[in-house]
Each structure stands twice: as C-alpha cells, then as structure tokens.
Amino acid sequence: MKKLLLGIALFVVGLIAPTVCIVKSIKFDQQCAGYLKQVADANTPEIALDRITVAIDYVDANNLTEGYTSILWRTEDENIGFWYQNLLACKDELTNCVDGTQLEKSNVLMKVRESLTDNGEKGTRLTIPGGISRYPNNLLWGILRALSYLLLIAGFILILISLDEL
C-alpha cells in the first residue's frame, strides 16, 4: 500500500512542471502571440497597429527584448533581440502608413505579414523564438521537465508494481 501511495505521489508531483510550462505557453499565446496573429491577419493598418501595440506592451512588460531562448547553443531563430526589433520596425511601418494611400497601406500590411510569419511544411505560422514563454529560465524549466518525466516514470512503475502485489 505504501508503494501505491508513493507511486501516486511521485506521479502527481511529476505533473507539476509540465503543467506549469503548458500554462506559461497558453498565457503567452493569449497575451502576445494571439495579437501578433491578428496583426498578420489585419485588413487595415489601424487594426494592425492596435494589435501590435498590445503585443509589444506585453513583450516590454515581461522583459522579452533581448537574449536567446536556446540552452546549449545560440541560433538566430531563437534571437529575442532580433524578433523584438522586428516587432518595433513593424509598428513603425504601420504608424507611418496610417495616412497613406490605399496602395501604400496594402503594401505595408503585406510587408508586416511577411515579417511576422513563415511558410513551412505545415502552412503559415508566426515567427516567434521557440521557448519564449519560459524565457529567461529555459535551462531551469528544461531541468525541471526532465526530472518531472523521471518522476512520472518512477511513479508509474511503482503503481504497476503495487497493483501486481494486490
């Protein structure tokens, strides 16, 4: 019976770090990435400017303005500084074209969309540094998630062993 309780406890504790990472990712999607998606989909510079301002305010408030999300080596697809500067440049483009002609507005909207998205095998997706929802503690969260998976496995094994003994 003790093995069963210990197995359940390990299993439950092992769920904590992955759950927190999922919640952090959802929070980032709701408060930043979702707005950037709307910027890319916007039909007018005014709508896009409103949405990108919300996203940039979130980025500024959470100090996501420089650094890399990578743990082992730096790659440019994880360069937060470049991504942030690109967001600011998109905002400037949108601000400057609000009073422009329809053609200028359309060109800027296309340019912003191309800056914020990539076309891949799975279609169009936002260009966002991977792991940004866990930044600046990506190493800590990586270690915690690895330990969590070990706890999940150990808990599952203990549960199976204790059920065999019943």
Neighbouring CB atoms inside 10 A of 74's CB total 12
Residue with tokens 């990712």: 25
| Residue 116 pLDDT level (bands cut at 50, 70, 90) | very high
Over 90: is that where the pLDDT of 166 sits?
no
Return d(Cα 87, Cα 81) in angstroms, integer: 10
Q: How many CB atoms lie within 10 A of CB 136?
A: 15
Give every CB contact of residue 164 below 8 A, 6+ residues apart in sequence: none
Sequence-distant (6+) residues with CB within 8 A of 19 are: none
Res 87: pLDDT: 98
Residue 44 lies in domain = 2-165
Q: What is the pLDDT of residues 98-114, one digit of tens each?
A: 899 999 999 999 999 99
Task: Write down the pTM of the prediction.
Answer: 0.89
HEC sequence for the chain: CHHHHHHHHHHHHHCHHHHHHHHHHHHHHHHHHHHHHHHHHCCCHHHHHHHHHHHHHHHHHCCCCCCECCCCCCCHHHEHHHHHHHHHHHHHHHHHHCCCCHHHHHHHHHHHHHHHEEEECCEEEECCCCCHHHCCCHHHHHHHHHHHHHHHHHHHHHHHHHHHHC
What was the pLDDT predicted at 9? Answer: 95
Asked if the model's pLDDT at residue 118 lies above 80, the reply is yes
pLDDT band at 97 (very low <50, low <70, confident <90, very high): very high
The per-residue pLDDT for 122 is: 85
Task: Indicate whether 165 pLDDT > 90.
Answer: no
Mean pLDDT of all residues in the chain? 95
What pLDDT does 133 receive?
96
Q: Give per-residue pLDDT as tens, 124-164.
A: 899 999 999 999 999 999 999 999 999 999 999 999 998 88
Token pair, residue 97, equals 């074209």
Q: Is residue 23 very low, low, confident or very high in pLDDT (cuts 50, 70, 90)?
A: very high
Question: Between the CA of residue 157 and those of 8, 11, 146, 162, what are the distances in Å?
Answer: 10, 10, 17, 9
Q: What is the pLDDT of residue 123?
A: 87
Tally of structural domains, the chain: 1
> What number of residues does the chain have?
166
